[in-house]
Amino acid sequence: LLKYLLKPIISFISDRSFKVRIGTNYSQTHKIQAGVPQGSVLGPTLFNIYCHDIPIPPNSQLAMFADDTTVITQSNSLESSIQNLQIALNTVTTWFKKWKLNLNPIKSAVKIFFLKMIQRSPTYSHR
């Protein structure tokens, strides 16, 4: 990254704090330990730069948009899909913990999609 860009980016994400207002009352000020400012134009880009090296497990793909991460696996059997998904989730969770990112279980879900098997008519050839 170019030096002249690094200083403003560091300033943008460093030494930030917040407080909560309820009505006319304010909480104490709390220091933000990690993350990028939500709603900022640079936030999604900085998050993607930060997360560029998330390991992608075998038989899996990652899809990311802003701070949302989707793990995708596919297989010919449900059991294999579940096993691949668990390996992928373990890998991604380990990486998130290492870099002090939190996964929110309330915002997390597992979706399973099946392709319906279609019975095909036999193909005949004429000589």
* DSSP count for the chain of H helices, then E strands: 3, 6
Q: Please give the span between the terminal C-alpha atoms of the chain, in angstroms, as a whole number.
A: 67
> Under a CB-based contact definition with an 8 Å cutoff, are residues 93 and 124 in contact?
no
Nearest Cα to 59, choosing from 71, 67, 69? 71
Is residue 116 over pLDDT 70?
no
The pLDDT-based confidence of 126 (bands split at 50, 70, 90) is very low
Residue 29 has pLDDT above 70, yes or no: yes
| CA atoms of 76 and 78, how far apart (whole Å) | 7
